[in-house]
Structure 1
């Protein structure tokens, strides 16, 4: 439920209860909720996870019989596959705009989010994304919000972690040349150098690559103590397997896009306690709301949540709350209420700064033990 307190409200996993909830009269209005993400291809697992988070929130909200603007309101998910491709993403975004959705969740990929943000903002539709490239929210678009950590937060945290906790002095960096991969790698490099780490090699690949032997052979010659990979789990998995095959037993670090169980499924025992990655938000297992979300998610979808389903679940609830506060489903009317949100969700605290980034996005660093994503203790972070 949502419990109001002075200047803030708390969002729990269960029932949204801002009054009035039940329509007394009038017709039902159907509010279309858009989602764009990689629902097919190498990143399909993460795209479906995002979709599941929004879907679970919508199902719960619809079960409550919300009233917005004096009308009983039912949300309907319109989910489309952008295939992690910017060109496809533009087509999908235009389709969602034409379908008169009242918010667009996603994209997951920064390379899709950057071009479509101009289109979506120009159409006056709120976009709530988990894509992390800093530029997405730095262009002054009032309808564009980020509901997770940015590359600046993620990459810089990993740079400091490498120096202070792993005590490395020589690192190599690979990025996949996507807006996400390059962005998070650049932030890591800046932070690592500031901490005294020498970047001994910077290599480039693509988000479709599967063979890294030539890149790894060059890096091996530099005697780097580890590699930071800016890219997605679908490439990080063969990268780590090939590191092991070449007897490169140093660290593999990455951003949030490698930080999920799919990496361990794809790379097997090559993913071990020398792989580290960050996720925005607290550890779900360490809060009552997080544990309940994991239980409910697995019951509903017969799988464990991955990286951002909890953030998307929270995002849908926060948008619904903003609509109720504004007494309108129209983005032009509820946008200000969303920008002024001060709410605690499953995945963290939602309060936005002037760029509509989260003011306080906690970051948890994980490693892998026995194929499981395992958070480090606060002392280790």
Structure 2
């Protein structure tokens, strides 16, 4: 009997501690509010997608510590993770499932193609969608008031990267390769245009499948063309394969990429010494320039012990700004939350977050990095005003 009584007291104590650790007060009626996450949680981009989902989860844990009531009920946010495997058709099915689940907003997708695939479905349901990674112009040019992005547009970013590669790296002969996706073709086309404007010669232009892992045929031809740089418009996993192939075939040219999320420890680990010398432009400012970065990194590692990518902080801020919009709207009506997002100014980890009428960030930044001795070193940051 004494043991049973002790166990009941212990359980009550643990429950009380849990409630107080989240800011809840005994007697509060709690309403659970669901935020959706859609991204690649399996397949070749699994690590990237899970890192973004984890960041959104961390934001929700933090927000739940701050008491917030609507209609007398304490709001408790939760994240519903859905795996789209980076497949646009699957993303559409996932988007329908999230609508049926009654989410108040969605974080994702984790690339432009999947974000676009989900956007009309979510727009038809008036559910705000914030992509932490989508950089393709078309994503926010569809005219949906529910569509937002955390990062700048890739063809605008190429204005800075193209000039840097030609003027600072003195690359005069450039080979351009894309992976056939809308993102890959768009960013490669724009980079090639800017490089030509600054006097470089694009000696070859190739398009491959987005699942190709053997770049040998293209690289043997590129090596004979004596190029100074190889620009690749594609995703991070393929970029790692390309870098390793360049080292194996002794292609001396610089590997250059833009807005594909390779800046982070994962690419360096998977690519090894082949990463050294690679130049990558990513959205935002360097980690060490972000206000609150050390705390975020410590909290993220303690909770998940998982890799942080260059885009990871943007998923964290996307979740935070969505919840801030719920508070600002003082409503769980997705239409009112979307309206609040158009008006919001939120100080996040990545800087002040505010959207223009199209759902784009008002002052996007882009940083050019170089991999040196297995570390990413920031070379230059540009901000569009």
Asked if these proteins are the same fold (TM beyond 0.5), I'd say yes
Could you say what secondary structure the match of 2:135 adopts? coil
- 1:24 deviates by 11
- 1:69 deviates by 4.7
Q: Distance in 2 between matches of 1:202 and 1:344?
A: 42
- Tell me the equivalent position of 2:274: 270
Q: Distance in 1 between matches of 2:358 and 2:329?
A: 21
Q: Distance in 1 between matches of 2:339 and 2:24?
A: 24
- Tell me the equivalent position of 2:146: 143
- Tell me the equivalent position of 1:359: 362
2:219 aligned with 1:189, yes or no?
no
Could you say what secondary structure the match of 1:229 adopts? strand
- 1:268 deviates by 0.7
Measured against aligned partners, the alpha-carbon deviations of 1:246-296 in whole angstroms (never above 9, x if no partner) come to 211111001222333222112111110x21112211212234412221122
Map 1:328-339 → 2, pairs under 5 A:
328-339=331-342
2:264 aligned with 1:260, yes or no?
yes
1:370/1:123 Cα in 2 relative to 1: closer, same or farther (>3 Å)? same
Q: Distance in 2 between matches of 1:342 and 1:194?
A: 37
Q: Distance in 2 between matches of 1:184 and 1:112?
A: 17
Measured against aligned partners, the alpha-carbon deviations of 1:170-191 in whole angstroms (never above 9, x if no partner) come to 1111111112212221221222
- Tell me the equivalent position of 1:7: none
Q: Distance in 2 between matches of 1:91 and 1:283?
A: 35
Q: Which has the higher contact order (CA 8 A, sep 6+)?
A: 1
- TM-score normalised by L of structure 2: 0.88
Could you say what secondary structure the match of 2:292 adopts? helix
- Aligned pair count reads 358
Measured against aligned partners, the alpha-carbon deviations of 1:166-210 in whole angstroms (never above 9, x if no partner) come to 121111111111122122212212222222222111111122111
Whether the 8 Å contact between 1:147 and 1:358 is mirrored in structure 2 is yes
Could you say what secondary structure the match of 1:376 adopts? strand
Give the gaps of 5 or more residues in structure 1: 1-20
Map 1:199-278 → 2, pairs under 5 A:
199-257=202-260, 258-272=262-276, 274-278=277-281
- 1:377 deviates by 5.2
When Rg is computed on C-alpha atoms for both structures, the one with the higher figure is 2
2:182 aligned with 1:179, yes or no?
yes
- TM-score normalised by L of structure 1: 0.89
RMSD: 1.9
Whether the 8 Å contact between 1:173 and 1:185 is mirrored in structure 2 is yes
Whether the 8 Å contact between 2:69 and 2:75 is mirrored in structure 1 is yes
Could you say what secondary structure the match of 1:270 adopts? helix
Q: Distance in 1 between matches of 2:27 and 2:321?
A: 25
- Tell me the equivalent position of 1:4: none
- Tell me the equivalent position of 2:303: 300
Q: Distance in 2 between matches of 1:23 and 1:322?
A: 24
Map 1:281-360 → 2, pairs under 5 A:
281-360=284-363
1:137/1:24 Cα in 2 relative to 1: closer, same or farther (>3 Å)? farther
Map 1:58-73 → 2, pairs under 5 A:
58-73=60-75
- 1:156 deviates by 2.6
Could you say what secondary structure the match of 1:73 adopts? strand
- 1:133 deviates by 0.8
